């Protein structure tokens, strides 16, 4: 029986990612990757940046956790070889080949944002193309890491062929589940605290593989159990209340800081809020949104594609408005939000009807295939 609450939670979280990127692109809190704000903090507070503080601690860990749950369900129905082959097409193809077919355009605008004067002078066109393609990775880091975790999961399963550890995790009570947040915190401690510009420390801190594999494996071993899901669902109200309180304290005491810095991410309060929100969202959707509709079915099918294509409009329209207009910020946010939530579905629908492009960008053989990112 399909778990509609998982489908709904996944596509709602993806929509939050899209909105997060609208706010993040114009942030003035020092978060890497955007084009910059409309003034310097604290003289120009940009209170709308609070969206980043609300969402960033938990929405990507939650997607990895859901991916772990879905992986367990898929591997119960398919062999490891079949599953990994499908994962490679669905995850690795779009995040490698897709860079050269579609996302090089994103990379073009990313290089405009980041480029220093004369940076590309003298480079042959093919070199510029490769630089733009790699620079277009953007949000696709998620599916690159997810493909790697899929490979790791097969190795882990080979060590426990009888699922003894998975069966043991079924006994986890709500107290143990909450205390698993310590693992969440330990994962954050693997980030390089003082990244060196001349090394790959920054890239490591972006991908955070030793952090994100924690919720992924917890999803597979712990949260794939119906009994565990029921326990979290029963406690969703106090979990959400505690998450909201911890979030308010976190934001009230840290607003203005770079909320993606290693020190911020590794703080106990940030980890507490992030973990409680993951649990609260799982419990809330399990208890209240285990149903579907025509719109929900469409979003279940299309959310992966929206995630894949949406950043093109963030990078291009966001850049052009900030660079070539003097429109008020509220108008830029409004236009960018509308553009992302209308052009992304339109682009996805166009891409999925073009066979070769569909395979390269979405990793789909046919437009009827419904495979989730998780």
Q: State how many domains the chain has.
A: 1
Q: Is the pLDDT of residue 318 over 80?
A: yes
- Tokens at residue 172, please? 């986890």
Residue 371 binned pLDDT confidence (cut-offs 50, 70, 90): very low
CA 142: distance to chain centroid? 6
Sign of the torsion formed by the C-alpha atoms of 343, 312, 362 and 126: positive
d(CA 366, CA 80): 22
d(CA 48, CA 14): 19
Per the prediction, the chain carries an average pLDDT of 95
Q: How confident is the model at residue 114, as a pLDDT?
A: 78
Give domain status of residue 110, yes or no: no
Q: Which residues fall within 8 angstroms of residue 14, CB to CB, at 6 or more apart? A: 63, 303, 304, 306, 307
Q: How confident is the model at residue 120, as a pLDDT?
A: 74
Give domain status of residue 77, yes or no: yes
Give domain status of residue 132, yes or no: no
Q: Shortest CA distance to 308 belongs to which of 64, 103, 34?
A: 103
Q: How confident is the model at residue 369, as a pLDDT?
A: 44
Under 8 Å between Cβ of 87 and 140: no
pLDDT > 90 in the chain, percent: 91
Q: Shortest CA distance to 4 belongs to which of 239, 262, 322, 288?
A: 288
- Tokens at residue 28, please? 């003035």
Q: Is the pLDDT of residue 370 over 60?
A: no
Omega into 12 within 30° of 0, i.e. cis? no
Give domain status of residue 115, yes or no: no
Give domain status of residue 118, yes or no: no
Find the DSSP H helices in 268-310. 268-288, 294-309
- For the purposes of burial, counting CB atoms within 10 Å of the CB of 183, is it exposed (0-12), middle (13-18) or buried (19 or more)? middle
d(CA 190, CA 188): 5
Q: What is the mean pLDDT of residues 68-76?
A: 97
Residue 220 binned pLDDT confidence (cut-offs 50, 70, 90): very high
Residue 129, phi then psi, degrees to nearest 5:
-60, -45
Under 8 Å between Cβ of 37 and 44: yes
pLDDT > 70 in the chain, percent: 96
Q: Write down how long the chain is.
A: 374
pLDDT in tens, 155-210: 999 999 999 999 999 999 999 999 999 999 999 999 999 999 889 999 999 999 99
pLDDT in tens, 233-268: 999 999 999 999 999 999 999 999 999 999 999 999
Residue 118 binned pLDDT confidence (cut-offs 50, 70, 90): low
Q: How far is CA 366 from CA 229, 353, 369, in A?
A: 33, 8, 6
**The residue to which tokens 């929100």 are assigned:** 277
- Rounded to a whole number of angstroms, the distance between the first and last alpha carbons of the chain is 17
Give domain status of residue 38, yes or no: yes
Under 8 Å between Cβ of 61 and 278: yes
Q: How confident is the model at residue 367, as a pLDDT?
A: 55
Q: What is the mean pLDDT of residues 80-99?
A: 97
Under 8 Å between Cβ of 136 and 106: yes
Give domain status of residue 267, yes or no: yes
- Tokens at residue 20, please? 């997060």
Q: Which domain holds residue 351?
A: 4-95+137-362
**The residue to which tokens 């510009």 are assigned:** 197
Q: How confident is the model at residue 68, as a pLDDT?
A: 98
- For the purposes of burial, counting CB atoms within 10 Å of the CB of 364, is it exposed (0-12), middle (13-18) or buried (19 or more)? buried
Q: How confident is the model at residue 119, as a pLDDT?
A: 66
Rg of the Cα atoms in the chain: 21
Q: If DSSP codes are grouped into helix, strand and coil, which group holds residue 255?
A: strand
pLDDT in tens, 6-46: 999 999 999 999 999 999 999 999 998 899 999 999 999 99
Give domain status of residue 119, yes or no: no
Under 8 Å between Cβ of 167 and 231: no
Q: What is the mean pLDDT of residues 295-306?
A: 97
Check residues 125 and 289 and name the one with the higher pLDDT. 289
């Amino acid at each position: 029986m399909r778990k509609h609450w998982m489908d709904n939670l996944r596509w709602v979280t993806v929509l939050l990612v899209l909105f997060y990127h609208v706010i993040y692109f114009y942030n003035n809190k020092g978060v890497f990757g955007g084009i910059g704000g409309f003034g310097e903090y604290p003289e120009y507070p940009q209170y709308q940046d609070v969206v980043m503080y609300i969402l960033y601690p938990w929405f990507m860990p939650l997607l990895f956790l859901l991916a772990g749950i879905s992986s367990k369900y898929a591997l119960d129905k398919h062999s490891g070889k079949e599953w990994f082959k499908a994962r490679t097409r669905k995850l690795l193809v779009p995040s490698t080949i897709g860079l050269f077919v579609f996302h090089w355009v994103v990379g073009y605008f990313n290089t405009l944002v980041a480029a220093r004067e004369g940076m590309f002078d003298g480079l042959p066109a093919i070199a510029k193309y490769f630089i733009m393609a790699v620079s277009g990775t953007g949000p696709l880091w998620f599916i690159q890491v997810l493909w790697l975790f899929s490979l790791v999961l097969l190795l882990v399963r080979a060590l426990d062929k009888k699922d003894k550890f998975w069966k043991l995790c079924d006994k986890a009570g709500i107290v143990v589940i909450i205390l698993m947040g310590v693992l969440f915190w330990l994962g954050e401690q693997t980030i390089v605290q003082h990244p060196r510009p001349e090394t790959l420390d920054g890239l490591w801190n972006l991908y955070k593989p030793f952090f994100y594999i924690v919720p992924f494996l917890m999803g597979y071993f712990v949260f794939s159990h119906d009994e565990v899901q029921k326990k979290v669902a029963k406690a969703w109200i106090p979990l959400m209340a505690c998450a909201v309180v911890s979030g308010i304290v976190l934001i009230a005491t840290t607003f203005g800081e770079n909320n993606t810095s290693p020190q911020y991410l590794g703080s106990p309060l940030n980890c507490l809020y992030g973990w409680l929100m993951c649990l609260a969202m799982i419990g809330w959707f399990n208890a209240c949104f285990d149903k579907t509709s025509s719109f929900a079915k469409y979003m279940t099918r299309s959310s992966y594609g929206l995630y894949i294509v949406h950043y093109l409009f963030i990078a291009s329209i966001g850049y052009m408005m900030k660079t070539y207009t003097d429109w008020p910020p509220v108008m830029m946010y409004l236009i960018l939000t509308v553009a992302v939530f209308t052009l992304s579905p339109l682009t996805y629908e166009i891409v999925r009807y073009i066979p070769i492009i569909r395979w390269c960008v979405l990793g789909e053989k046919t437009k009827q295939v419904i495979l989730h990112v998780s």
